[in-house]
Structure 1
Amino acid sequence: MSAAAMPPPPIAVTAPPSGGPPRWLAAVLGVLTILVGIAALVWPGPTLLAIGFLFGIYLAVWGIGLLVRGVGGHDVSVGLRILDIFLGVFAVLAGIALMVRPGASVLTVAWILGFWFVLAGVMQLVRGFVEAEGRWWNLIWGIVGIVAGFIILDSPEIGIATLVWIVSIGLIVQGFLELALVFAPRGGGSVA
């Protein structure tokens, strides 16, 4: 066969990365989550004012990240985008409440954080059941979030030290799961 008659070699075509917000946004949120969790574990003695304010900043930034993902995530279903937006609005409002009244009682902080963990956990469970990509990570984080939330809501008077430990460990686990989702392979393989 002549060179002109030979068919060209097959070209590998890979699926383009899914649309929506860039992975760096999820990575930044994951790292922020881990850092806030570690900071709360390393310095458990600060006053409720500092802890409330720190968690308030975190929740507001995390909520804005969810809002961006919910509005810009055209690669996921409308239902999941609505869940992101709903949880994002709740997180921003809870964050503002904690920043405006960081010295509120432990009970107030516990209720806000408990509801946030439960809502975030439910959202992750739904995402785990609906999306194949990152299914197990979403299901694990959903269960961790719901359990942490119910522990806090069941005993909101547990005291600041216990609350800090529960929230800190939950945040660190959440951060690592968020980072795992960032680096998990995207759906779609290559076609030769």
Structure 2
Amino acid sequence: MNNFTFRSPLANLLSKNWWIVLLRGIAALIFGLLTWFYPFITIIVMVIFFGVYALIDGVMGVIISINGRKSHQDWWLMLIWGIVSILAGILTFFVPGITWLVLITFIAVWALVSGIFQVITAIRLRKTIQGEWWMIIAGILSVLVGIILLIDPVQGGIALTWVIGVYAALFGVMNIALAFRLRRFAIHQVN
């Protein structure tokens, strides 16, 4: 056995799928650059995508609930969820400002939670791989973005596209660097 053998199943999983981390990084970098150069289009597109997603999610929820009404006693919960999603989708197209505020809050919570989990994952990997600090920095950036957006969502919404652009580009670069480290470990592990 060489000194690159991983003792962690998570590290093994990441090293074997290093290319997914690379694609994730490239996608984040491209998204960040587009957001930075086209902030107003980004706002409109985000709201439209959310509205379309909510409508599709709602319709699927209603279909699932109707199909499961004979076999599941809690089918009505899915029906309510579906109806709420459909209404949210419709509301998005008629009152986009409210949707934008809700979307900012959703992004803030997502950034905060995903950043915390990324830091935890990096800490768990610190004895297994080198370069885990890339994940820690990306996680901390995510947490900071979440906190900033939760403190003042209205003003945060104005700056959100710039913040998202910088965050996504940095996150992308860090994931690209991490992917190449993981690839190196995967190559050494095979040999």
Calculate the TM-score normalised by the size of structure 2: 0.60
Distance 2:101 2:171 in 1: 23
Letter in 1 for 2:26: V
Alignment of 1:23-172 (within 5 A): 23-46=18-41, 48-53=43-48, 100=89, 101=92, 103=96, 104-132=98-126, 133=129, 134-158=131-155, 160-172=157-169
Structure 2: stretches of 5+ with no match in the other structure? 53-84
Distance 1:35 1:135 in 2: 23
Instruction: Report if the CA contact (8 A) 2:112-2:143 is conserved.
Output: yes
Distance 2:51 2:26 in 1: 17
Partner of 1:80: none
Distance 1:115 1:108 in 2: 11
Q: Structure 1's 15 and 161: CA in aligned 2 closer, same or farther, altered over 3 A?
A: same
Instruction: Report if the CA contact (8 A) 1:18-1:186 is conserved.
Output: no
Deviation sequence 1:77-116 (CA, Å, 0-9, x none)? xxxxxxxxxxxxxxxxxxx99x954745321111111011
Deviation sequence 1:13-55 (CA, Å, 0-9, x none)? 9759934652222111111111111111111122733133468
Letter in 2 for 1:183: F
Q: Structure 1's 13 and 40: CA in aligned 2 closer, same or farther, altered over 3 A?
A: closer
Instruction: Report if the CA contact (8 A) 2:148-2:156 is conserved.
Output: no
Structure 1: stretches of 5+ with no match in the other structure? 1-11, 58-95
Partner of 2:82: none
Secondary structure of the residue aligned to 1:46 is: helix
Q: Paired residues, what number?
A: 141
Letter in 2 for 1:24: W
Q: Structure 1's 56 and 173: CA in aligned 2 closer, same or farther, altered over 3 A?
A: farther
Instruction: Report if the CA contact (8 A) 1:114-1:150 is conserved.
Output: yes
* CA deviation after TM superposition for structure 1 residue 189, in Å: 6.2
Higher helix share: 2
Distance 1:22 1:116 in 2: 24
Instruction: Report if the CA contact (8 A) 2:47-2:99 is conserved.
Output: no
* CA deviation after TM superposition for structure 1 residue 188, in Å: 9.7
Letter in 2 for 1:166: V
After superposition, the CA RMSD in angstroms is 3.6
Q: Structure 1's 158 and 188: CA in aligned 2 closer, same or farther, altered over 3 A?
A: same
Identity %: 20
Distance 1:128 1:180 in 2: 14
Calculate the TM-score normalised by the size of structure 1: 0.60
2:134 counterpart of 1:174: no
